[in-house]
Amino acid sequence: MNTPLLEIEDLYAGVAGKEIIKGFNLTINEGEVHAIMGPNGAGKSTLSYLLCGKPGYEITSGVIKFRGKNLMTMSVEERACEGIFLIMQYPVEIPGVPVTSFLKYAVNAQRKYHNQPELDTMEFIKMLREEGRKLGIDAEMLKRPVNVGFSGGEKKRLETLQMAVLKPQLAILDEADSGLDIDALKIVAEGVNNLRDNKRSLLVITHYQRLLNYIVPDFVHVFADGRIVKSGDKNLALELEEKGYAEFVKDK
Amino acid sequence: MSGLIQEVKLFGYNIPRIEGLREKARASFWMPTVKTQAWKYTKLHSLKVDDFVVEPSKFLEEIEGKEIEEHCCCGENCHQHGESCSCGHHHEEREKHECKCRNKKHLPFAAYELHFENGKFVPIYPATPSGVEIMTLMEAFAIGEENHLLGKYIDYAKYPFAALNTAYLEEGLFIHIHKSAKLDKPLALINHTYGGQENLLVNIRNLIVLEDDAKAELVEYYHYSGEPKSRYFNNIVNEIYLGAGAELDHCRYQNEAYKAVHLALNSVRIKTQGIYNGFCLQKGADLGRSETQVRLLEKNAKAEVNAAYLMNGWATLDTTTDIEHLSPETYSSQLIKGVVGGEAKGVFQGKIYIAQDAQKTEGRQLHKALLLSDTAEVDVKPELEIFADDVKCSHGAACGELDQEQLFYMRSRGIGEKDAKQMLINAYFTDVMARIHNIKIQEWLQNEI
């Protein structure tokens, strides 16, 4: 059997001394799409930041392995180069850094990590424009500073474009549907689906079932109070949509 | 008396006008103390030592027929072929020889280049268009071209280092752009300092006169090569006169050795419709000050004084401005941005003065700095003195750190932390760099950050 892409074992973690993840287990194999659904405050975003290695998020115990390697000792950029990509819920604006040069730098940094030669600028721009066109991102937008003055939908499309260009092994979508109208949602979902193959995997973190109509998961997990409390197939998502999270949330 | 004032015989000791200027300046020099307001944040202890060395006059050596080293690096052809020349280098052919002893820096864009080595002008003049006159300052004095402009408006009580500069008045250029003359590429004063001579004190004085409707770009570049710990003191004064409708883009880049001292004063006078667009990037030196005094003399005179500074270690880099609006409907704008790391200190002192009858005047000033470490420091002193009642004036100052969210975002795309920081620093300077009109100069400096 192949090594799983991502293994999380009995993870306890938190931020600023507050424990948020409490005994979390999850295994994702190559080519699988997992959805994690849960109520507000369950620690969904914390989980995505932990996987990316965001400073300030601390693991107290447990193991995270990515393709058999210990992920926890890797820096943010190493994890990205190893193939983890996070579509952020609130992408930040970076004034003064145009999209094109930002992405070119990111692509070449990752190529360098894998001992591949840098991409030729003209080639890169051609590729970027082509990928952008599929997502409704025109050349003008590519010249603008990263996310500056972008609408919510444009930001998510740019996230999707970055994913299309960086071609990660594991893409994590953190509430990728927040702030999107239905058309933008379809475009983003299509972009994500284009990347799907039997090697790449997705971890879709979401509040609502809506996104899962477009990105159909193989597994659905209910996430409450820092761990997975129930797992099932895509039908679980429909069930949750109907009944809500009430049965999983303890009275405090 | 301070060890900075020394007895040295200079060219023109027998010309009363020149010697008179030096005499007066020598008597006027004073060393600022910790109590001197204008130097409160920028400490001068590295100057309070007696070991500065003033090189003998190159002009006098030439006159006295002393043998001068002749080799390509000083721009003069080697007269000996197939053998070692006086600079100690073996030259095969006159045309093709490359001297490796000194790597003279050229600019990455086309310019009329004028070179100084260790503060001495290398007498090679580029072929400039008609209406552009360039000569050494001493020559200008000798033939009466200087027109009694030098030092006319500099108050030594306020600018002691201008007095020091004048006390050693000799090196420097007279640049005269005649009425309506225009330059197709920038004039560039490139100042090379080489290691080897410790504690060199260099004074360069440039007198720059643009007649009515003349237009020019001037680049000043200070760089250093050799033993990194070399200590020296470059003391620069530029006096700039802009006639009616004259335009000067003036870009200074200071990248001296990290133990060096670089003090510069730009004194600018602008007549009606004249435009001065100044920019200064300070990156080198242990102690650096770029001071700009602008006097907007007549209606519609405009000045921009923009600057960027970037440093680490223990350096102090100071940007000081003094903009005087002396007539109605004059305009000034200043944008200063700094990035400070290590235990370094950035200083900005910005003054806007608006005279009583200078109505309908606009003066803008904004200073922003990014602190990269807990030990970095920025001292900011904006001063507005407004005596007119119908003016638009603003000033602002802000200090921040690198945005951790931006940094995380970039790193999560695979960009290493160091590179991500560098990209953010570059991005930070984008707006101030955009104020340099010449794109090629802009690109050059952007790459130097």
Q: How many residues does chain B have?
A: 449
- How much is the pLDDT for B66? 64
Instruction: Using pLDDT thresholds of 50, 70 and 90, give the confidence band for residue A160.
Output: very high
Give how far Cα B262 sits from Cα of A3, B48, B284, B336, B390, Å. Answer: 61, 15, 9, 19, 39
Secondary structure class of B265 (helix, strand, coil)? strand
Residue A154 in any domain: the answer is: yes
Task: For chains A and B, count residue pairs whose Cβ atoms are closer than 8 Å.
Answer: 76
Please check whether residue A26 lies inside any domain of the structure. Answer: no
Residue A71 lies inside a defined structural domain of this protein: no
> A175: domain range?
33-47+76-248
Q: How far is A130 from chain B (nearest CA, A)?
A: 20
Checking if the pLDDT of A114 tops 60, the result is: yes
Lowest mean pLDDT among B63-72, B119-128, B361-370, B375-384: B63-72
> How many beta carbons lie within 10 A of that of residue B359, not counting itself?
16
Count: domains in chain A: 1
The answer for residues whose C-beta is within 8 angstroms of residue A95's C-beta and 6 or more apart is A145, A148, B427, B430
Residue closest to B265 by CA, chosen among B153, B397, B344, B378:
B153
CATH number of the CATH domain containing A164: 3.40.50.300
Which residues in B219-258 are b (16+ Cβ under 10 Å) and which e?
bbbbbbeeeeebbbbbbbbbbbbbbbbbbbbbbbbbbbbb
Nearest CA in chain A to B430: A96
Test mutation, B402, B412, B417, chain A, max A CBs within 10 A: B412
Assigned token pair, B46: 């590295």
Q: For residues A110 and A76, is the Cβ–Cβ distance under 8 A?
A: no
Alpha carbons A35 and A202: distance in angstroms, whole number: 8
Query: pLDDT exceeding 70 applies to what percent of chain A?
Result: 98
Q: Does residue B68 register a pLDDT over 70?
A: no
Model pLDDT, residue A181:
83
- Whether B240 shows a pLDDT value over 60: the answer reads yes
Residues of A in contact with B429 (CB under 8 A): 96
Choose the closest CB to A109 out of B416, B428, B431: B416
Distance in angstroms (rounded) separating the CA atoms of residues B429 and B446? 8
Nearest residue of A to residue B418, measured between CA atoms = A77
- Residue A158 lies inside a defined structural domain of this protein: yes
CB under 8 A, 24+ apart: contacts of A222-225:
A222/A37, A222/A38, A222/A248, A223/A36, A223/A37, A223/A38, A223/A42, A223/A43, A223/A44, A223/A47, A224/A38, A224/A39, A224/A42, A224/A248, A224/A249, A224/A250, A225/A22, A225/A42, A225/A43, A225/A249, A225/A250
Neighbouring CB atoms inside 10 A of A138's CB total 10
A134 three-class SS: helix
Cβ distance A166 to B413 less than 8 Å, yes or no, reads: yes
ipTM: 0.95
Give chain B's largest Cα–Cα span.
74
As a whole number, the mean pLDDT across chain B is 90
Average pLDDT over residues B342-365: 96
Selection from B311, B304, B391, B388 nearest residue B350 by Cα:
B304
Dist. CA A111–CA A106, nearest whole Å: 9
Token pair for residue B57?
A: 């006059």
**pLDDT by residue (tens digit) across A177-188?**
777 888 888 888
Is the pLDDT reported for residue B101 higher than 70? no
Segment B24-45 mean pLDDT: 92
Range scoring the smallest mean pLDDT among A107-121, B34-48, B296-310, B360-374: B34-48
Q: Rounded to 5 degrees, what angle do the CA atoms B43, B340, B219 make? A: 80
Q: B448: how many CB neighbours lie within 10 A of its CB?
A: 14
For residues B125 and B112, the answer to whether their CB atoms sit within 8 Å is no
Q: Classify residue A117: in a domain, yes or no.
A: yes
In a domain, A55, yes or no: no
Flag the least confident range among A243-247, B163-167, B298-302.
A243-247
Residue from the list A54, A91, A105 with its beta carbon closest to the beta carbon of B415: A105
pLDDT surpassing 50 at residue B232: yes
Q: Is residue A8 situated within a structural domain?
A: no
Residue A18 belongs to a domain: no
Residues of chain B in contact with residue A80, where contact means CB-CB under 8 angstroms, are: 411-414
Query: Which residues are B217's β-sheet partners?
Result: B249
